[in-house]
Chains A and B, each alone.
Chain A
Amino acid sequence: MSAFVRQAMVVARRDFTAVVATPTFLLFLLAPLFMILMSLLGVTGAAQIADTSQDKTRIGIIAAQADGPLLVAADRRLRNVLPDDLQPPKLDIIPQHGGQSAAVAQALLALPDPNYVAVLYGPLERPIILKEGGRRSAYLATLAEQVLRDRKGGVAPGAMLSIAQTADQKVQTASASSEHATGFAAVFGIFFLTLLLAGQSVGMLAEEKSNKVIEILAAAAPLEAVFLGKLIGMFGVALLFVGFWAGLAGTGIALSASFLTLPPIAAAVGLPAFLLLCALYFTMAFMLLGAIFLGVGAQASTMREIQMMSLPITIFQVAMFGLSSAAAGAPEGRLARFAEIFPFSSPFAMAARAANEPEIWPHILALGWQGLWVALTIWITAGLFRRGVLKSGPGLLSALRRKR
């Protein structure tokens, strides 16, 4: 092992241990759990409110006694066809008495509980639907139409003329839309993880600067090795985090496999290669963005400055996500090519490409290209740090001239 790599690994080990062996790391590790719990609480609360409101909401039909069973049967059939989120409110059949239907309908609509939002009355051939402003009345109209058709065809209430059988068949060829969806999921997954994990590197040199350890590090090892070590250390933390949650998610999926149907992962390069490429692109995204954050954060002198720098960094990350998402949606376009070549969006966009295109060689090329940019970013940011903090070294241009 070269001295450079060995020194980087010493720094990485120190940083990894310093982060992991603290009680606060447990909070960090479990942070998504809190997020999930809060989301579940929110969703449950919202669902309860919606259910309560749904329970009290009604639509009504004031109908002759003979039409009642036909309307109930037609309602049942139509509800079976509609998905859950398009289900209309519960239907009440109100028996018709005399010629006061219009007044009854108005009285029903005025009731606070149950809350009628629409009431149909009158002959089914020419019904009148009284409804709250903004509500749709198509369902009640369709019910009336259906009952008339059933009556005309002589279909008894609840009788089925056609009884269908269904059979599932696995489709071997993935559709383009499912590949696009997988590509977008990969972009989002890598973005989310880097947003959560790589952003941490912005304050990584703050400790060294405030504790004056930086001079010891600078005397013992090249700053580039120190920077690389810090990135590797944080990447180790990220892997631990991802491993923990991937393990939990895997266990959860395995336990719920019998009653949970997951959407299929459709990737043009094949699932094993896709997963491997996603892992590699996550590594590259972490290293690339982490190197930028580390370098930018290294210029800050105080925690306040670090906090100030976090916002533009996050905006930059979101911009890379937006670019790559657009590329995932239109993998053949020029924008996709640009996102794949631009070094800081390349890991995201190439992960999407792995879902959409079967060729492997562009990925080998892209990984090399991204690796080059990781090295370049570390070199530039370490140089900036050397001049900013240690007040040494030539300007960037003269350094470049010297390299030539």
Chain B
Amino acid sequence: MTDDRPVWAEGLIKTFGGTTAVHGVSLSVPRGMIYGVLGPNGAGKTTTLRMVLGIIDPDAGQRALLGHANPREVSHRVGYLPEERGLYPAMQAREAIAFMGALRGLDWATGRKRAGEMMEASGLGHAVDRKIRQMSKGMAQIVQLLGSIVHRPELIVLDEPFSGLDPVNQEHLESLVRSERDRGATILFSTHVMSHAERLCERIAVIAGGQRRFEGTVDDARGLLPMQAHYVPCDRAAEAGTMLPSGASFDGRAWRFTVPDGGAETLLMALISAGHGIAGLTMQRPGLHEAFVRIVSDAKQADVAASA
């Protein structure tokens, strides 16, 4: 529990009516980082974030937010965008942003001024005095996000921030997240869409079945899976398959196969010696999406085995 870890949680447990939603999740988010909490639907991401923020209390485990054991004490230094978006429909956008800032300790006048500037910067300058009910869902979502950062918090927690946004607004939101990180804020966000995490996150935690199944960088996660090779032989391409590892697939021109544990050098030398040659070769790690699917399916198998 140190100040360089704005979010720290150890062994969080939460049960609702006999169902354990979160079972021993630990998190440690370094300062100034964009950190992703990934997991399938119903994995326990939202419950974990709510416990970390002090909206609900854990049944067991410890937590600290910005170095404080009671998250409530530092709520004015935190910004939060909940999964279920909510704004007062009759409020003007500027007022809604100022209201959310005021709840976190910002005075109304400053909140209004910043709301205008932020909406202008987000391309919504024309809608500052528009009521929320007159806005599109995407616009309202951006307004809510601006409301959660208008007080310039040190820590920003975003629960599924991209859901419901069109690609243009998703792109805008990504740049907003990066600019907040560049300002010095720590960003913690949850998602089940891997492309956003892959582009934004410096570290991730994968939660599945109420437990943390992985923690590390995106490359660490991708490193869990072996390299994939895309090999184009020079001659007798179809015969080359007999020398490749089992599971290799051929599309009539090129082979795809998983690189063996010892590396590809020995195999390639053998292929050259056999006269197949190398017309083309690329080797790359699978994406975060594949790594995520593997982590989650391994977790399911482990849970089934444990319950059996």
Contacts and interface: CB of A to CB of B under 8 A. Distances in A.
A281 to B, nearest CB: 32
Given A3-B76, A14-B99, A391-B16, A207 B88 contact: yes
A7 B103 contact: yes
B86 A214 contact: yes
Given A14-B88, A14-B99, A213-B87, A219 B53 contact: yes
B256 interface: no
A219 B88 contact: no
B99 A10 contact: yes
Contacts of B80: 216, 219-220
Nearest to A223: B55
Contacts of A7: 103
B156 to A, nearest CB: 12
Residue from A207, A215, A220 with most neighbouring chain B CB atoms (10 Å): A220
Residue from A22, A208, A211 with most neighbouring chain B CB atoms (10 Å): A211
A94 B84 CA distance: 88
Contact of A212 (B75, B78, B86): B86
A95 interface: no
A276 B114 CA distance: 43
A216 B86 contact: yes
A386 B57 CA distance: 10
Contacts of B89: 211
Interface in B55-98: 55-57, 72, 75-76, 78, 80, 82, 84-91
A216 B56 contact: no
Contacts of B76: 3
Given A10-B103, A216-B103, A221-B75, 5 more contacts: A7-B103, A13-B102, A212-B82, A213-B86, A390-B56
B95 to A, nearest CB: 8
Closest A-B pairs by Cβ, 7 of them: A212-B86, A392-B56, A220-B103, A213-B86, A212-B84, A215-B82, A10-B102
Given A6-B105, A14-B99, A222-B72, A392 B55 contact: yes
B55 A219 contact: yes
B82 A219 contact: yes
Contacts of A393: 56-57
Nearest to B85: A212
Interface in A1-19: 3, 6-7, 10-11, 13-14, 18
Interface string B117-128: 000000000000
A226 to B, nearest CB: 9
A228 B190 CA distance: 32
Contacts of A214: 86
A392 B86 contact: no
Interface of B: 16, 50, 53-57, 72, 75-76, 78, 80, 82, 84-91, 99-100, 102-105, 144, 147-148
Residue from A13, A221, A392 with most neighbouring chain B CB atoms (10 Å): A392
Nearest to B102: A10
A218 B51 CA distance: 12
Nearest to B73: A3
Nearest to B58: A392
A217 interface: yes
B57 A216 contact: no
Nearest to A21: B90
Given A10-B99, A14-B99, A392-B57, A220 B87 contact: no
B125 to A, nearest CB: 24
A202 to B, nearest CB: 19
Contact of A215 (B55, B57, B72, B99): B55
A191 B85 CA distance: 40
26 contacts: A3-B76, A6-B105, A10-B102, A10-B103, A13-B102, A14-B99, A18-B90, A211-B88, A212-B85, A212-B86, A215-B82, A215-B84, A216-B80, A216-B100, A216-B144, A216-B147, A219-B53, A219-B78, A220-B103, A221-B103, A222-B72, A390-B55, A390-B56, A391-B56, A393-B57, A394-B57
B84 A219 contact: no
A22 B54 CA distance: 35
Contacts of B16: 391
A216 B103 CA distance: 9
Contacts of B147: 216
A218 B105 contact: no
Contacts of B57: 392-394
Contacts of A216: 80, 82, 86, 100, 103, 144, 147-148
Nearest to B14: A392
A390 B16 CA distance: 11
A18 B56 CA distance: 28
Contacts of A222: 72
A220 B104 contact: yes
A391 B82 CA distance: 16
A298 to B, nearest CB: 16
A18 B103 contact: no
A86 to B, nearest CB: 57
Contacts of A207: 88
A22 B131 CA distance: 13
A215 B86 contact: yes
